[in-house]
Structures are given as C-alpha cells and as structure tokens.
Structure 1
Amino acid sequence: MLVIGRKKGESLLIGDDIEITIVKIENGSVKIAITAPKQIGILRKELYIEVTDENQRAMVFDAAALEKLKK
C-alpha cells in the first residue's frame, strides 16, 4: 500500500488517465473528485463488498426451495 499526503486542491495520478483531487477536508472527512474514463467503474469499497456478497448469496443452491417449486 502506498500512502501519499495531499492538501486541499492537490491531486494524484493513477496511470495516464485517472486523476484524484482533494476537494474538501473538514471534521475528519475528506471529499475527493475522481476523473477517469467512463469504462472504468468506480464504487465505494463497502458498496462493492455488499454487491459481491449479494451475488454470492444469489448463487447458493437451495435444495429446499427447489423442492417447493417442484410441487
């Protein structure tokens, strides 16, 4: 993991086409702006984990539910 200190208005680049800019720092919270190509998905990590977990639960085979559908 790379840790970089930035001040309000400063940016960092990831590759040639992703820029992250610090927009606001207030009360222990940081607001960032992300400039990236449209084809790159951007999600908060907690949302990504929630979606991944939900997809895993949807793929679980439930034999009891299948038996109910057969009746």
Structure 2
Amino acid sequence: MLSLRRRQGESILIGSDIEVRVAAVRGGVVYVDILAPSHIAVDRKEVRLGLASVKRRAGKPEEKIRHG
C-alpha cells in the first residue's frame, strides 16, 4: 500500500489516464474528484460490496457497473 499526503487542489495520478484530486476537506471529510475514462468502473467500496452481496443473494453473476 502507498500512503500519500495531498492538500486541497492537489492530485494523484494512477497510470496514464486516471487522476484523483482532493477537491475539499471540511470537518474531517475529504471530498475527491476522480477523472477516469468511461470504461473504468468507479464506485465507493461500500456500494460495490453491497451490489455484489445483492447479486449473490439473487443468484446472479457479478459484473462491473459502468458509469459514463
């Protein structure tokens, strides 16, 4: 795992086409902007895990959710 410190307005690059930018920090909450191609699935972890759990209970195979 890599831990980095970033201030508001600063970014982290992942590969050549994903940017994670610190948009704001308010009251201990960090707001991030994620710039990624539309074919890259971006979800909050709890949402992704919740969807996988629902699909398992429904007997459906897991699939990536695309947001564009």
TM-score with structure 1 setting the length: 0.81
Determine the structure 2 residue equivalent to 1:34. 34
What secondary structure sits across from 2:55 in the alignment? helix
Identity, % of aligned pairs?
38
RMSD: 1.2
Determine the structure 2 residue equivalent to 1:47. 47
Paired with 2:35 and 2:47, the residues of 1 have a C-alpha distance of 20
Determine the structure 2 residue equivalent to 1:58. 58
**Unmatched tracts of structure 1, length 5 or more:** 61-71
Paired with 2:35 and 2:59, the residues of 1 have a C-alpha distance of 34
Larger Rg: 1
AA matched with 1:29:
V
Determine the structure 1 residue equivalent to 2:2. 2
TM-score with structure 2 setting the length: 0.84
CA apart distance, 1:2: 1.0
Q: Which protein is richer in helix relative to its size?
A: 1
Kindly report structure 1 stretches of 4+ aligned residues shifted beyond 4 Å: none
Which fold has the larger relative contact order, with Cα–Cα distance below 8 Å and residues 6 or more apart in sequence?
A: 2
AA matched with 2:23:
V
**Unmatched tracts of structure 2, length 5 or more:** 61-68
AA matched with 1:36:
A
